Amino acid sequence: MAFEVIAQTRKAQGTGASRRLRNAGKVPGIIYGGKKAAQPIELDHNAIYHQLRDEKFHASILSMSLDGANEQVLLRAVNMHPYKPQVQHLDFQRVSADEKIHMKVPLHFINAESSPAVKEQGALVSHVMNDVDVRCLPADLPEFIVVDLAAITVGKSIHARDLELPKGVELALRGTENPSVVTAQIPKAIASEEEEAAAAAGAEAAPAAADVPAAKQKPEAAEAAAPEKGKESGKK
């Protein structure tokens, strides 16, 4: 089900007008693109604020009712107040059914707990990217892309070109660009503990080897020692 955004044409413009809109519980914005000119709009703050909290809202084709006329749009930019839960400004772009769009789509990671890296080696899985740029027709735009981590091992990475994309969707990458999406590494603290344990085991083994009686040494070592003892007896 498509999200519906209700908007009205914004007649008053400028910093002072925008401030008055916000004080009245409205959000100034703009809609652009397509064959129409850019148009200033205003929206109800509470309604749009709650819609913005839904991840799908940011990567979906939205149905905007502008002065009663419906248009298909994408949310392109959101400006928030530095410290208040207040939306300052919104940018929307018109879309056409027969024209490809460029969009950031969120990544959903699954099966990390059952992967060899985590289950067998206690590795830490790091998400290098949380979304990816794609190109597709509006009708093919996915809400998210799944990243299956079931086979990831320590020291390995999954790259953007390794992702399984829905039909009609392509990555918006240039040339041989292939950024890392997720990696699996042993945490430094655990690795350090393992190294210290190995070093301690080696230190304990060294004195034990030095205390081995001559009778238990290798035959070659015993034979080499025998002539020396004979020489010492002859001198006496």
**pLDDT tens digit string along 74-93?**
999 999 999 999 999 999 99
Residue 35 has pLDDT above 60, yes or no: yes
Identify the band that residue 187 occupies on the pLDDT scale cut at 50, 70 and 90.
confident
* pLDDT number for residue 222: 47
Residue 202 has pLDDT above 90, yes or no: no
Residue 213 has pLDDT above 60, yes or no: no
Q: pTM for the full model?
A: 0.73
Express as a percent the part of the chain with pLDDT over 70: 79
Average pLDDT over residues 128-147: 95
Q: Which residues touch 135 (CB under 8 Å, ≥6 apart)?
A: 100, 101, 102, 103, 169, 170, 171, 172
The one-letter amino acid at 173: L
What's the mean pLDDT when you consider all of the chain?
85
